[in-house]
Amino acid sequence: MIPRHKIILMVSITLLVVSCTTTTKEKPKSYPPVRGLIAQKAMVVSARKEASKIGADIMKKGGNAFDAMIATEMALAVSYPFAGSLGGGGFMVYRKHTGETGALDYREKAPLAASKNMYLDEKGNPIPDKSTIGALAIGVPGTVAGLFAVHNKFGSLSIDEILSPVIHLAEKGFIVTEKQKARFDAYRDLFVDVNRDTIVWAKAYKTGDTIKNKTLAKTLKRIILNGKDEFYKGETGKKLVKRIQDHGGIITMEDLSKYEAKWRAPIQFTYRDLSIISMSPPSSGGVCLAQIMKMIEPYPISKYRHNQCKTIQVITEAERRAYADRSFYLGDPDFTNIPIDTLLSKAYLSGRMDDFTFDEATDSSAINCGLITGYESDETTHYSIIDPFGNAVSATVTLNGAYGSKLYVPEVGTFLNNEMDDFSTKPGIPNMFGLIGAAANSIAPEKRMLSSMTPTIVEKSGKLWMSVGTPGGSTIITSVLQTILNVKEFGMTMQDAVNAPRFHHQWLPDVIVFEPNSFDHQLLDSLRAKGYHSSEEQSRILGKVDGILVLPDGTLEGGADKRGDDTAVGF
Ligand code: GLY
């Protein structure tokens, strides 16, 4: 005889499982749909209103999307030191009005004196914080080289014209927002610890205060005069290297002078009637996005409906498999032989989902990277721009952690990254985003660390349709994915697509992270009944997406993520 309480439990579980496959109640979509800013000709969406406005103004005075990119990124270095800086790096994907596409890698790289085990103790264990905090965590910055590479190839205004409004912003100051104040408060003690003294950012700011950065204004003036060499060979570089070495770092003038941004072929693939152009290695973004979307494509997820059980299952299982491949196969393509063609082939990807069933979760411990024969073996910010000529730019840039290594260079006016943590410091040991890596992403002098940044441009029926991207470390790829699917499969506006609740799975740890208080408890119970592990971490940011959608009448809709101070500005 089965006890009564067990019968009740069995019936409840059966109902939950049934509800998962057939009748889970869908939360109402926002009604009426929320539209973002609509502009007729051009738009910038970024993490700060000041930066979006400066970028849009550059286009108003005749500049193109590439000029606006340089201005926007430098304006973020002034007003958004959390992730914008001269001391980090990034990736940019572009599509010109002619349909020509391309990608720029201005990712940081390991210094010449870096070595494979530099973050391990004598027993071979990772030394806490060594790859994330302070001068040893810094990779050779790529931002200034990247912006000059863009200007040389596509710029239409002079660097002087482009940077002048940014210098004005740095001299006049920007207003501290409530969210920004909270971040300064959270990092104040660490700023003082790492810098062995107080720094301008460690003051107790209030919401509404104005912060000026006259030192950064002076640095930008020197860069206008002396070009890229000012940063990599000149006075600014020397100040930077001195500061780093005084604090125990290993970056030299030789490291700076050898730094080059690299033009790369983007990853391009189709998803139904969309053609997607995204970042190639050393970012994992494009490869993982392509793998996930190709694994999802055979399933009618619009019928399964937005954020419902079967949709979440299919997306989670595709993500689990793609992130397993990421951990093993991906790294800097100049150092690692990446089997991209196989990883993106139809035969390989359809085989990857062979063992998936809707009945129960796949166990991550049962998933490894797929077998490819013959193969030997994280704070960030994003902006999207479309100009009046029809050129589109999608750029994601980073210091890695919030304020990077926390080491600030008062003589230059910028923080420096802690990008070295994006390497696999030891095979199988997770980095600050919980990502596991292997030999493909081990540390070597001059190697670029693997990234998750996924600046992406989407075409529909051969025409520009969307520019999109986000910060969020390992959650970048899955946030970009869900935003594209929200518009394509679930018919959302750009703004609703950006605002919609998100979830994330990255193979290990074997857990679906849901944004807190956004998913129905009955739905979460249904997934648990199928063996999915889940968490709703209160502090977890699942992306802060900024996108622009070209509407059928040719106007532009901005999607500026409500999770931050992000703002669309257009005309
Ligand atoms: N630093 C975060 C990333 O590049 O993925």
Higher pLDDT, residue 433 or 203: 203
Characterize the bridge pairing of strands 43-46 and 567-570. Answer: antiparallel
- How many whole angstroms from its chain centre is CA 421? 15
Q: Is cis: bond before 282, omega within 30 of 0?
A: yes
Place of tokens 């912006």: 147
The preferred substitution site among 378, 432, 506 for testing ligand 1, maximizing ligand atoms within 8 Å of CB, is: 378
Element spanning 246, H or E? helix 235-246
The finding on whether 400 has its CB within 6 A of some atom of ligand 1 is yes
How far apart are the CA of 143 and the centre of ligand 1, in A?
14
- Rounded to whole angstroms, the Cα distance separating 544 from 563 reads 6
- Rounded to whole angstroms, the Cα distance separating 107 from 110 reads 10
For residue 511, the model assigns a pLDDT of 93
For residue 20, the model assigns a pLDDT of 59
The finding on whether 132 has its CB within 6 A of some atom of ligand 1 is no
The preferred substitution site among 132, 396, 422, 544 for testing ligand 1, maximizing ligand atoms within 8 Å of CB, is: 422
Q: How confident is the model at residue 538 (pLDDT cuts 50, 70, 90)?
A: low
- Count of positions (residues) in the chain: 571
How far apart are the CA of 161 and the centre of ligand 1, in A?
31
- Rounded to whole angstroms, the Cα distance separating 368 from 349 reads 14
Mean pLDDT, rounded, for 436-450: 94
Mean pLDDT, rounded, for 475-502: 97
Nearest to 380 by CA among 555, 562, 545: 545
Element spanning 29, H or E? none
- Rounded to whole angstroms, the Cα distance separating 63 from 66 reads 8
The finding on whether 441 has its CB within 6 A of some atom of ligand 1 is no
Amino acid at 4: R
On the CB side of 157, CA atoms within 13 Å amount to 24
What are 206's two structure tokens?
Answer: 């209030």
Nearest to 478 by CA among 365, 309, 326, 345: 326
For residue 17, the model assigns a pLDDT of 44
- Rounded to whole angstroms, the Cα distance separating 38 from 531 reads 43
205 Cβ neighbours under 8 A, 6+ residues apart = 176, 180, 181, 184, 211
Q: What is the pLDDT of residues 115-158, one digit of tens each?
A: 999 999 999 999 999 999 999 999 999 999 999 999 999 999 99
Q: How confident is the model at residue 497 (pLDDT cuts 50, 70, 90)?
A: very high
Atom 1 in ligand 1: residue holding the nearest Cα: 378
How far apart are the CA of 398 and the centre of ligand 1, in A?
7
Residue 212 has pLDDT above 80, yes or no: yes
How far apart are the CA of 374 and the centre of ligand 1, in A?
29
Mean pLDDT, rounded, for 40-51: 98
- How many whole angstroms from its chain centre is CA 415? 19
Nearest to 325 by CA among 157, 462, 468, 440: 440
Nearest to 344 by CA among 297, 391, 406: 297
Atom 2 in ligand 1: residue holding the nearest Cα: 378
For residue 370, the model assigns a pLDDT of 76
How far apart are the CA of 431 and the centre of ligand 1, in A?
11
The finding on whether 72 has its CB within 6 A of some atom of ligand 1 is no
The finding on whether 398 has its CB within 6 A of some atom of ligand 1 is yes
The finding on whether 394 has its CB within 6 A of some atom of ligand 1 is no
Mean pLDDT, rounded, for 408-424: 97
| Radius of gyration in angstroms for the set of CA atoms belonging to the chain, rounded to a whole number | 23
Atom 4 in ligand 1: residue holding the nearest Cα: 451
How far apart are the CA of 284 and the centre of ligand 1, in A?
9
Residue 27 has pLDDT above 60, yes or no: no
For residue 29, the model assigns a pLDDT of 55
- How many whole angstroms from its chain centre is CA 296? 21
Residue 539 has pLDDT above 60, yes or no: no
The finding on whether 473 has its CB within 6 A of some atom of ligand 1 is yes
Amino acid at 193: D
What are 530's two structure tokens?
Answer: 């199928």
pTM of the complete model: 0.94
Nearest to 370 by CA among 437, 439, 323: 323
Amino acid at 543: G
How far apart are the CA of 411 and the centre of ligand 1, in A?
26
The finding on whether 422 has its CB within 6 A of some atom of ligand 1 is yes
- Rounded to whole angstroms, the Cα distance separating 461 from 463 reads 6
Q: How confident is the model at residue 431 (pLDDT cuts 50, 70, 90)?
A: confident
How far apart are the CA of 550 and the centre of ligand 1, in A?
28
Residue 374 has pLDDT above 70, yes or no: no
Positions marked active-site: 380
Residue 429 has pLDDT above 90, yes or no: no
Mean pLDDT, rounded, for 197-226: 98
Residue 11 has pLDDT above 50, yes or no: no
The preferred substitution site among 398, 448, 504, 506 for testing ligand 1, maximizing ligand atoms within 8 Å of CB, is: 398
What are 190's two structure tokens?
Answer: 């660490």
Nearest to 557 by CA among 29, 65, 35, 60: 35
Residue 343 has pLDDT above 70, yes or no: yes
The finding on whether 134 has its CB within 6 A of some atom of ligand 1 is no
Higher pLDDT, residue 10 or 361: 361
The preferred substitution site among 424, 435, 451 for testing ligand 1, maximizing ligand atoms within 8 Å of CB, is: 451
- How many whole angstroms from its chain centre is CA 219? 27
The finding on whether 83 has its CB within 6 A of some atom of ligand 1 is no
- Helix, strand or coil, per DSSP, at residue 423: coil
Please report the DSSP string for 522-567 in residue order.
HHHHHHHHTT--EE--TT------EEEEE-TTS-EEEEE-TTTT-E
Q: How many CB atoms lie within 10 A of CB 558?
A: 27
The finding on whether 133 has its CB within 6 A of some atom of ligand 1 is no
- Residue 5's Cβ-count burial label (10 Å; 0-12, 13-18, 19+) is exposed
Q: How many CB atoms lie within 10 A of CB 527?
A: 22
11 Cβ neighbours under 8 A, 6+ residues apart = none
The finding on whether 378 has its CB within 6 A of some atom of ligand 1 is yes
**For the CA of 285, the nearest atom of ligand 1:** 5
- Rounded to whole angstroms, the Cα distance separating 111 from 250 reads 7
426 Cβ neighbours under 8 A, 6+ residues apart = 117, 119, 120, 124, 125, 126
For residue 25, the model assigns a pLDDT of 43
Identify whether the C-beta of residue 191 lies closer than 8 Å to the C-beta of residue 405: no
Question: 70-79, 278-287, 362-371: lowest mean pLDDT where?
Answer: 362-371
Alpha carbon separation from 351 to 5, 36, 241 (Å, rounded):
42, 40, 50
The preferred substitution site among 143, 433, 478 for testing ligand 1, maximizing ligand atoms within 8 Å of CB, is: 433
Alpha carbon separation from 521 to 11, 308, 536, 541 (Å, rounded):
18, 12, 11, 20
Q: What is the pLDDT of residues 147-190, one digit of tens each?
A: 999 999 999 999 999 999 999 999 999 999 999 999 999 999 99
The finding on whether 380 has its CB within 6 A of some atom of ligand 1 is yes
**For the CA of 474, the nearest atom of ligand 1:** 5
**For the CA of 378, the nearest atom of ligand 1:** 2
On the CB side of 449, CA atoms within 13 Å amount to 38
**Mean pLDDT over all residues of the chain?**
93
Identify whether the C-beta of residue 115 lies closer than 8 Å to the C-beta of residue 447: no
Identify whether the C-beta of residue 381 lies closer than 8 Å to the C-beta of residue 404: no
- Residue 14's Cβ-count burial label (10 Å; 0-12, 13-18, 19+) is exposed
Give the relative orientation of helices 65-79 and 159-172 as an angle to the nearest 10 degrees.
Answer: 20
Q: How confident is the model at residue 255 (pLDDT cuts 50, 70, 90)?
A: very high
- Rounded to whole angstroms, the Cα distance separating 274 from 473 reads 25
Question: 132-136, 216-220, 367-371: lowest mean pLDDT where?
Answer: 367-371
98 Cβ neighbours under 8 A, 6+ residues apart = none
Amino acid at 38: I
The finding on whether 452 has its CB within 6 A of some atom of ligand 1 is yes
- How many whole angstroms from its chain centre is CA 377? 27
